[in-house]
Amino acid sequence: MRALLLLLVLGSLLPADDVTLKNGQVHKNLTLVKEMPKQFQYETLDGRVLTFMKDAVQDRIVAATPLDEFRKRRGALPAGNVAAMVELAAWGQEQGVSKETKKLWDAALKADPENAAARAALGFHRLDGKWLSEAEFAKARDASLEAGWKLRGWRKVKDKWLRPVEAFRAEKGLVEVQGQWVTVAQQKKIETEKLNWCAYGTWVSADDKQQLDAGLLKEKGKWVPAANLDAAHADQKNPWTLTTGTVALNTNVRHERALKILSVADDIYSGLVKVGGVHPDSNGKWMPLLLLVGRGIKSYQGMGAAFGASDREANHSSGYGAFMSSKGLGDFGGLALTYDNDDDDWMRVWVGHALGHAYLDRFKPEDTHEERLTEAFAGYAAALHGGSWQPTWWYWCRWLKDGPIPDASRIIEAASYRDDKSLAWAGTLLHWLSKKNETAFGEFWETFGMGRGNAADLLKACCSVDGKLDAKAMDEEFQAWVTKMRGTFRPWDK
Ligand SMILES: [Zn+2]
């Protein structure tokens, strides 16, 4: 090793042939190959041949080049000593002696097909215990990406892999207008007639929009305060139907309250769509997430009948108030159900929890998702705000501020809709995981939506290093983060 180091130092200091031509060009690091009566023939470090007419040469400094040095050392290599070959090849590479070095790498690889340095230098990649060339590796990587997209329900449209809802839009040629996806013909009409999207899911004139925004509604040709119609809509059979385009709300609560619930749902939705990439479609169609909110628990009870079953059978009924159905309703895939008691804090948590369920169920209509992890996701959704996990002050004080929190490796298995605290903890863990690896986190939920994956897969996806998960290190890191968060938490709503 000492001898090698010495050579390395000497090698890099060795002067080399420099040729200065009469036209001012200077060529450095040349090795004289042949001197002919009227010409010099040189070789460059990377193996190219240069020929100069003698009478064009102004000046010549004769010295050894790295190529000379390389050849000298190559000749002196002990036979069959792969380590020495690798060392010299690495040196040659550094010096720019590319052609000769490549030959030496090939020779090293022939002597030792498993030599990692030679494999790497020659552009091989290791995949599933096999060495693949650059081209083979690129092909395998594409295949594995494609397999991942398929797992996540993506479809190929015109040679491009797209998420289901993006594929749907591409196939239908939809364009975005005021946050809504419409056909080109609809777009033309909207622009010509200067229409505006409104919370009732329709396109209205600017004048009508102004009245609607002022809280008025048209009743028998007259604009009246929406509150005047609350009594008529208190009946579950004639609910208010409002929509943002991505979330639709059917409810028999007061109109003012309905607008508030819709804005909370929209706020939570912005966080959900950030996790899953885009709005999930419903059986191949663009449909908003449907949220049904009963006015008090009485209105909720009996909703199961709408699905042709008892509440218990039709709905997953939580121990703390959020409900959902994975069975869907008509064209709506998974949908969210809950009730409202005029309590803003509980309303936010229940709406978030229920939308979390509905969101996942959109990816795959049947209820195929592992239960604990689904609850963990719903617990996460319950604290979403402004596109990320941000508990309210009330939520924080109720579930997170004090007391021990389980280890990261144990939280999800404890997540249960019978224990509201376990949902808050699981949500906290999910937030931490999303910060650890946002891409892996998002991809995992798309895959999970398609009915694959469990808690161990999620932890591995977000926390493993070189494919290995160190559970102890993860638990320690999570606990340290919880402690830090408790010292710095600032609620957004206080
Ligand atoms: Zn739940």
Q: How far is the CA of 419 from the centre of ligand 1 (A)?
A: 10
pLDDT above 70 coverage of the chain, percent: 90
Q: How far is the CA of 372 from the centre of ligand 1 (A)?
A: 9
Q: How far is the CA of 425 from the centre of ligand 1 (A)?
A: 14
**CA proximity to 380, closest of 413, 328, 422:** 422
Per the listing, tokens 């509150």 go with 227
pLDDT grade for 417, boundaries at 50, 70 and 90? confident
- Asked if residue 436 lies in contact with residue 462, where contact means CB atoms within 8 angstroms, the answer is yes
Residue 18 confidence (pLDDT) above 50 = yes
Give the C-alpha distances (Å, rounded to integers) separating 339 from 252, 299, 321. Answer: 10, 7, 8
| pLDDT for res 326 | 60
Instruction: Give tens-digit pLDDT for 264-303.
Output: 999 999 999 998 877 777 777 778 888 989 898 877 777 7
pLDDT grade for 376, boundaries at 50, 70 and 90? very high
Helix (H, G, I), strand (E, B) or coil at 33: strand
289 — phi, psi (to 5°)? Answer: -70, 135
- Asked if residue 450 lies in contact with residue 364, where contact means CB atoms within 8 angstroms, the answer is yes
Per the listing, tokens 């083979």 go with 136
Q: How far is the CA of 255 from the centre of ligand 1 (A)?
A: 27
340 — phi, psi (to 5°)? Answer: -125, 135
Q: How far is the CA of 421 from the centre of ligand 1 (A)?
A: 13
Q: How many alpha carbons fall within 13 Å on the CB side of residue 141?
A: 9
| pLDDT for res 315 | 64
**CA proximity to 434, closest of 371, 375, 388:** 388
pTM as predicted? 0.73
- DSSP for 432-455 reads HHHHH-HHHHHHHHHHHHTT---H
Q: How far is the CA of 492 from the centre of ligand 1 (A)?
A: 25
Give the burial class of 295: count Cβ atoms within 10 A of its Cβ; 0-12 exposed, 13-18 middle, 19 or more buried: buried
In DSSP terms, 295 is beta-bridged to 340
Instruction: Give tens-digit pLDDT for 326-371.
Output: 666 677 777 888 889 999 999 999 999 999 988 888 887 656 788 8
Domains of the chain: 2-125 (2.30.30.100), 234-488 (1.10.390)
* Beta-carbon count within 10 A of 153 CB: 19
Q: How far is the CA of 385 from the centre of ligand 1 (A)?
A: 19
pLDDT grade for 317, boundaries at 50, 70 and 90? low
Lowest mean pLDDT among 111-115, 299-303, 478-482: 299-303
- Asked if residue 70 lies in contact with residue 92, where contact means CB atoms within 8 angstroms, the answer is yes
Give the burial class of 100: count Cβ atoms within 10 A of its Cβ; 0-12 exposed, 13-18 middle, 19 or more buried: buried
pLDDT grade for 313, boundaries at 50, 70 and 90? low
Q: How far is the CA of 323 from the centre of ligand 1 (A)?
A: 7
- Distance between CA atoms of residues 494 and 481, nearest Å: 23
Residue 107 confidence (pLDDT) above 50 = yes
Q: How far is the CA of 357 from the centre of ligand 1 (A)?
A: 7
| pLDDT for res 126 | 84
Q: How far is the CA of 408 from the centre of ligand 1 (A)?
A: 20
- Report, in this order, helix, strand and coil percent for the chain, each rounded to 5: 50, 20, 30
- Asked if residue 251 lies in contact with residue 236, where contact means CB atoms within 8 angstroms, the answer is no
Q: How far is the CA of 290 from the centre of ligand 1 (A)?
A: 16
Q: How far is the CA of 417 from the centre of ligand 1 (A)?
A: 5
Lowest mean pLDDT among 241-250, 284-293, 389-398: 284-293
In DSSP terms, 49 is beta-bridged to 43
- Distance between CA atoms of residues 255 and 295, nearest Å: 11
**Which secondary structure element, helix H or strand E, spans residue 132, and what is its range?**
strand 130-132
Q: How far is the CA of 375 from the centre of ligand 1 (A)?
A: 5
Q: How far is the CA of 313 from the centre of ligand 1 (A)?
A: 14
Q: How far is the CA of 69 from the centre of ligand 1 (A)?
A: 72
**CA proximity to 334, closest of 314, 313, 360:** 360
Residue 8 confidence (pLDDT) above 80 = no
Instruction: Give tens-digit pLDDT for 173-202.
Output: 999 999 899 999 999 999 999 999 998 989
Q: How far is the CA of 353 from the centre of ligand 1 (A)?
A: 6
Output 90 or 142, whichever has higher pLDDT. Answer: 90
Q: How far is the CA of 453 from the centre of ligand 1 (A)?
A: 18
Q: How far is the CA of 17 from the centre of ligand 1 (A)?
A: 77
pLDDT grade for 4, boundaries at 50, 70 and 90? very low
Q: How far is the CA of 316 from the centre of ligand 1 (A)?
A: 7
